[in-house]
Structure 1
Amino acid sequence: MEGQGEDVRLGANKYRERQPIGTAAQTQDTKDYKEPPAAPLFEPAELSSWSFYRAGIAEFVATFLFLYITVLTVMGVAKSSTKCSTVGIQGIAWAFGGMIFALVYCTAGISGGHINPAVTFGLFLARKLSLIRAVFYMIMQCLGAICGAAVVKSFQKTQYERLGGGANTVSSGYSKSSGLGAEIVGTFVLVYTVFSATDAKRNARDSHVPILAPLPIGFAVFLVHLATIPVTGTGINPARSLGAALIYNKDQAWDDHWIFWVGPFIGAALAALYHQIVIRAIPFKSK
């Protein structure tokens, strides 16, 4: 019994945690990792680079396909007299989440796979891309969304207007403040997931845990849609909301349209600040 305390002490020291967690994991030096420099605010040289325009085209095509599939899915559910004969609300959520997963996977190596002005805005605030590229991406995303919704309307013809065109509106029984809050929190979840899934330091530190970045991003979109479809139809993407509203072009689509721009941009800004300041603590790191 006399040496029992010593045995316990030696045993505790012998079997230490091999992988630090929490703050210890964040502060340890990661092998071969260097914090990338912030993107310049203005980079005029990008305008003469083919890769710049190729990335914009990729954003246009991806957002076009995103609106085409998702709005058609919404129209199919709205057309059905009984929800059980179609994919239903869960199917709508899967369509949005699944398309984001597929499209981010396809375009991540070309443009980063934003497919959403709110995501682009959040990454711009974190200095992951220049102002010129951010504005160009947003324009191409909005144009792609408009074209995607227009193709859906050409297929649906008269039914498109009768069924609401997939436009985002605040549902009856909910206030505008509730709709705005739903958009802010929903976009925060999405953009926070984007930052976490694409964090270069985390990928370097956790290289033993393979993570396919588009997967958590797609799941975030899916889960947010499950939660907020009854409130706003789930925007969390200003390009998606603009494309559907512009092609549908009825008063009800424009009455609360500002919510689907202000909410996502606030949510994206909060997610960027939270990730950069709290999670990564970049402003407090020694030079």
Structure 2
Amino acid sequence: MEGKEEDVRLGANKFSERQPIGTSAQTSKDYKEPPPAPLFEPGELKSWSFYRAGIAEFVATFLFLYITVLTVMGVSSSKSKCTTVGVQGIAWAFGGMIFALVYCTAGISGGHINPAVTFGLFLARKLSLTRAIFYMVMQCLGAICGAGVVKGFEGHAKYELLGGGANSVNLGYTKRAGLGAEIVGTFVLVYTVFSTTDAKRNARDSHVPILAPLPIGFAVFLVHLATIPITGTGINPARSLGAAIIFNKDKAWDDMWIFWVGPFIGATLAAIYHQIVIRAIPFRARP
């Protein structure tokens, strides 16, 4: 028994707690902070990797809209909630596709698949303005094509009857409530993206295997559960724009500003919170 106690004491001394509960984060710099991306990087335009990343964003957003809008329309066409996947199924479709697509494209483009995510990362100087604009354009084009393929499969009449998977503020909610839901929902998503891709966190928690696409996809799933009843959940301007362009009815355009302004405000707040409050980058002493 004494031998076992000695082993426990030895192990406690040898493998001390790296960050005891209730203490602040480590102060020793055991990671390498990546340099901020330049605002303009003309050299990117001559690189194949730049265009390859844009194509990856296009294809990923195309597949994202194809699967998710089909799921939404499948639920809309059902006469009984018992015969369809329901709201939970829609949330799983969005979250699951983000998980799969981020996993597939993270090593090529970073796996943004969302102009709000791209905008938030641009504000944090994680990518150049050139790349950010290119990504947003490719994401929107991919979303339009994905929604267009869904319409081709469903047929014009059925597609319009089921609403085309377009976002709008639902009855019983004000536009202010819809805007607030989009801001908070996008904040959750972009903050999760920052946290799971943080260089310091990866170094500090390297002993804990973290698959970044998993918490990002799970965040999308949870936000959809909360906000589908309010706005149908946008938190992705490309997703809202693609469905609206193909559906092309007043209902889809009336609230479109909410699905752009809300996500961009949410992304901005997430970038400010993570960079200034969590990481305190502007207050860090320069070596």
The bucket for the TM-score relative to the shorter chain is over 0.9
Partner of residue 226, structure 2: 227
TM-score (structure 1 length as normaliser): 0.93
Q: Is the CA contact (8 Å cut-off) linking 1:228 and 1:234 kept in structure 2? A: yes
Residue aligning to 2:9: none
| Alpha-carbon separation, structure 2, partners of 1:99 and 1:16 | 39
**How many aligned positions are there?**
274
| CA spacing shift, 1:234–1:98, aligned 2, 3 Å | same
Mapped partners of 1:82, 1:99: distance in 2? 25
Identity score, percent: 80
Offset at 1:208? 0.3
Q: Match for residue 279 of structure 1?
A: 278
- Aligned-residue offset at 1:30: 3.8
Q: Which amino acid aligns with 2:123?
A: L
> Judging changes above 3 Å, is the alpha-carbon distance between structure 1 residues 206 and 30 closer, same or farther for their aligned structure 2 residues?
farther
Matches within 5 A, 1:1-287: 18-21=17-20, 24=23, 26-31=25-30, 33-157=31-155, 158-287=157-286
Larger displacement relative to structure 2 (18-27 or 52-61):
18-27
CA deviation profile, 1:46-98 (whole Å, cap 9, x unmatched): 00000000000000000000000000000000000001101111000000000
Report how far residue 19 of structure 1 moved: 1.8
SS of aligned partner of 2:163: coil
Deviation at 1:24, TM superposition (A): 4.8
Between 1:99-108 and 1:15-24, the stretch displaced more is 15-24
SS of equivalent residue, structure 1 residue 98 = helix
Whole-Å Cα distance in 2 between the matches of residues 99 and 263 of structure 1?
22
List structure 1 segments (4+ residues) > 6 angstroms apart after TM superposition.
Answer: 13-16
Q: 1:217, 1:247 → 2: CA distance?
A: 28
If the length of structure 2 is used for normalisation, what is the TM-score? 0.93
C-alpha offsets along residues 118-169 of structure 1, whole Å, 9 cap, x if unaligned?
0000000000000000000000000000000000000111111000000000
> What SS class does the counterpart of residue 39 from structure 1 fall into?
coil
- What is the Cα deviation at residue 27 of structure 1? 3.8
Root-mean-square deviation (CA), in Å?
Answer: 1.6
Q: Is the CA contact 1:19–1:25 (under 8 Å) kept in the aligned structure 2? A: no
Q: Do the aligned partners of 1:30 and 1:205 also contact (CA within 8 Å) in 2? A: no
- Structure 2: give runs of 5+ residues left out of the alignment: 1-11
Worse-matched range after superposition: 92-101 or 156-165? 156-165
2:190–2:267 contact (8 Å) kept in structure 1: yes
Secondary structure at 1:26 match in 2: coil
271-280 or 22-31, larger mean C-alpha shift: 22-31
Residue in structure 2 matched with residue 7 of structure 1 by the alignment: none
Q: Is the 1:30–1:204 Cα contact (8 Å) retained in structure 2?
A: no
- Structure 1 unmatched ranges of 5 or more: 1-12
